[in-house]
Structure 1
C-alpha cells in the first residue's frame, strides 16, 4: 500500500512553492539592488539598503495577496538557511570557545533585562504579560522568544502583537545604531560580534548589524546569538513554574516540549561547523557559501522591511515602546560594562 503523505509530497511542495514564489522573488529583487548599492557604498553593505528599501515599499504600498506569504517565508526560513550556511566559516572548536567566553556577558545582560522588565513594567502599569514578553524578546531573541513564551504564560493574541511590534522597532534601529557605536568605540570584529550578539534583539538584526560591521564580526555574532537563543529553554521552564505557583493552573512544560524550543537552524549551524572542522568543505566552496549566506541575509531583511506593520506599532501605544526602549538601552549598557570589566574593550 502506498503511503499517502509521501505520495502527495511532490504536489504539496509544488503548491507551497507557487504560493511563496511571488513574495520571494520580490525580496530577491530588493536584495539584488541592495547588494549593488553595498558594492558602491561598502560601509552600508547590503543589509541596511535591503531593509530600508523594504520599509519604503511597505509605507507606499504594502505587499498584498499572494506576495504576503512569500515575504513571510523570506523573512523567516531564508534567514534561517543563511544562519546555517554561516557555520561553514567556523570550526566546532571556535564555536564552543566563543560560546563559553560570551556566557558571563550574556547572563549579566539577561538578568538585568528580566528584572528591569518586571520592575519598570509595574511602575508604568503595563500589562504583566506584555511586560514579560517584551522582556524575553529584548533579553533573548526577539519574536522567537515571544512565540516560545506566549503559550507558557497564556498570552493573548493582542498582547503578543504589541510585544512583537515593540521589539521589531528596536530591531530596525539596531541595524543602523550598533555599527556606529562599534566604530565609535573602536571595537575589534570579535568584540563587536560579542556586543551585537548579546545586545541586539532578533537574530535577523544581529546578522544584519554584524554584516555591516564586517565579515570577521559576523561569525562571532552568530555564535553568541545562537548560544543566547538557547536561554529560551530555561526561561520558559522558569516562567511555567512561576505561573503554576501563581495560578495553580500553569502550563506544564514537558522535557519533550522543552526540546522543541531549540531552533532547527541552531542544530544545522553546528552540523555545518562540524563538517567544516572535519575539512570536508573546500576553501573555494566555503567562500561561495559565505557569499550565498550574505545574499540570503539581504533577501530576508528585505522581507522583514516589507513586513513592517506601522499600524500595529502605533496601536501598541507609548508605554510598551518606552519599556522596550529602556530595556534596549539597559541591555546595551550592561553588555558594554560587562565587556569592559571582562577585558574585551
Structure 2
C-alpha cells in the first residue's frame, strides 16, 4: 500500500545508498518555549500570585486552541515536555530538606504518607467504578495525590502514557487545583482552624506547589511555611511511588514476554534515572551547606525548565479533546480532590 509518507520519500542516491533523512530540529519549538517562559515569568513578576507554571499551561492551551501549531514546533515541544521536565524534577530535589520534613513530627509525616497512599488507591478505585481508562486514572491519581502536573509528567516518563491522557490529566490539575486556592482559606475560617493547621491542610491537599504557595500566603501567619514544608514532603513521595509503578510495569512486561515466549523485550529500569537524580539532589541539599546564590540559581533554572515543560504540555490541551472525554474524568478529578482533602483534614485535626 502506498502511503503519503512513502510517496514523499525521495529516491535512493545514485550510489545506491539510502537517502539522508533530515533530523528533527527542536530549535523552533524550544524558541517558542523560551518566549512562553519569559512571558510567564513576567506575569509572575507583575502578579506574584500567578505561578509561572500555571501561566505557562494556560498560554500553551490558549495558543493550541487559537491557531493550528506548525509541525516544525513538535520536536522542540517534545524535548521540553520530557527531557527538560525531567531535569526540572531533578532540580526540584534541591528544595527538599530532610531536616525540615522531620521537624513536622512523625505524626504529620504519617498523615502525608496516608494522603498519598489513600489518595492514589481511592482514585484508582473511583476510576474503575466510573469506567475511566486505566492510564488516565493513574495519571490523575498520582498528580492529585503528589505534586500536580510534575507528577503527571513523571508517571508518563515511567509508563509512556497516551499523549491525550497526559494532556487531560494536566488540564484537570489546573482546573481543580486553581479552584482549591480560594476554597481552602475559606474553609479554614469556617472550620475555625488556626493559620498553622490551615497551612498544614493546604500543603497536604492542594495539587501544585505554586497553588499551595498561593493558598498559604492567603492564610497569613505561619501558614505559608507550614504549607510549603508539607507540600515538599508530598513531593518527596514522588521517588518511592515512581519506583513502585516502574516495578509493577516491569512485572507486567516480563509476564507478557513470558506469555508470548519471547526473550527480546527490554524492561524499563527499576528506578528511572530522573528519580535517582531527584533523590541525589535531596541528599545534597540535606547534607551540604550550599550557598544561597547556588540555591537561588538552581531554583530559577528549575522554574524555567518546569515552566517550559508546562507550556509544552499545555499545547496538548485541546478543547475538542476535553469535550470528547466527557464528564467522567471531571467526576474522577472532583472525587480525588475531595478525598485527598478529607484525609488530610482528618490527619491535621488528629495531630494538632
Q: Structure 2 matches for 1:134-153, cutoff 5 A? A: 135=141, 138-139=144-145, 141-145=151-155, 148=158
Question: Does the 8 Å contact 1:85/1:272 carry over to 2?
Answer: yes
Q: How far apart are residue 105 of structure 1 and its match?
A: 3.1
- Of 193, 212, 226, the residue aligned with 2:236 is 226
Of 50-59 and 323-332, deviating more is 323-332
* Aligned counterpart, 1:311: 320
TM-score, normalised to structure 2's length? Answer: 0.68
Q: Structure 2 matches for 1:51-130, cutoff 5 A? A: 51-94=57-100, 101-108=108-115, 110-111=117-118, 113-115=120-122, 117-118=124-125, 121-122=128-129, 124-125=130-131
Q: Deviations over 1:271-315 (max 9, x none)?
A: 234334444532222222223323333322222222213333222
For 1:172 and 1:78, the matched residues in 2 are separated by 20
Question: Does the 8 Å contact 2:136/2:169 carry over to 1?
Answer: no
* Aligned counterpart, 1:176: 178
Structure 2 CA distance for partners of 1:23 and 1:310, relative to 1, 3 Å: same
For 1:113 and 1:281, the matched residues in 2 are separated by 34
* Aligned counterpart, 2:40: 34
Question: Does the 8 Å contact 1:88/1:276 carry over to 2?
Answer: yes
Which structure 2 residue ranges, 5 or more long, are not aligned? 1-21, 189-194, 218-223, 261-265
Q: How far apart are residue 224 of structure 1 and its match?
A: 1.7
Structure 2 CA distance for partners of 1:138 and 1:182, relative to 1, 3 Å: closer
Q: How far apart are residue 57 of structure 1 and its match?
A: 0.9
Question: Does the 8 Å contact 1:82/1:294 carry over to 2?
Answer: yes
For 2:312 and 2:181, the matched residues in 1 are separated by 21
Q: Deviations over 1:93-114 (max 9, x none)?
A: 4456669643433324533552
Question: Does the 8 Å contact 2:120/2:145 carry over to 1?
Answer: yes
Q: How far apart are residue 177 of structure 1 and its match?
A: 2.6
For 2:104 and 2:213, the matched residues in 1 are separated by 18
Question: Does the 8 Å contact 1:34/1:46 carry over to 2?
Answer: yes
Q: Over aligned residues, Cα RMSD in angstroms? A: 4.1
Question: Does the 8 Å contact 1:72/1:303 carry over to 2?
Answer: yes
Structure 1 residue 287 corresponds to structure 2 residue 324:
no
For 2:174 and 2:272, the matched residues in 1 are separated by 22
Larger radius of gyration between Structure 1 and Structure 2 = 2
Structure 2 CA distance for partners of 1:191 and 1:65, relative to 1, 3 Å: same
Structure in which a larger fraction of residues adopt helix: 1
SS of residue in 2 equivalent to 1:19: coil
Structure 2 CA distance for partners of 1:61 and 1:111, relative to 1, 3 Å: same
* Aligned counterpart, 1:23: 29
Q: Deviations over 1:202-237 (max 9, x none)?
A: xxxx24424545795556534422314522444666
Structure 2 CA distance for partners of 1:65 and 1:285, relative to 1, 3 Å: same
Q: Deviations over 1:72-106 (max 9, x none)?
A: 32233323323333433444444566696434333
Q: How far apart are residue 71 of structure 1 and its match?
A: 1.7
For 2:101 and 2:277, the matched residues in 1 are separated by 13
Question: Does the 8 Å contact 1:83/1:293 carry over to 2?
Answer: yes
* Aligned counterpart, 2:310: 301
Which structure 1 residue ranges, 5 or more long, are not aligned? 1-14, 151-156, 201-205, 251-255
Structure 2 CA distance for partners of 1:134 and 1:127, relative to 1, 3 Å: same
For 2:51 and 2:153, the matched residues in 1 are separated by 25
Question: Does the 8 Å contact 1:106/1:228 carry over to 2?
Answer: no
Question: Does the 8 Å contact 1:74/1:303 carry over to 2?
Answer: yes
For 1:45 and 1:137, the matched residues in 2 are separated by 17
Question: Does the 8 Å contact 2:29/2:77 carry over to 1?
Answer: yes
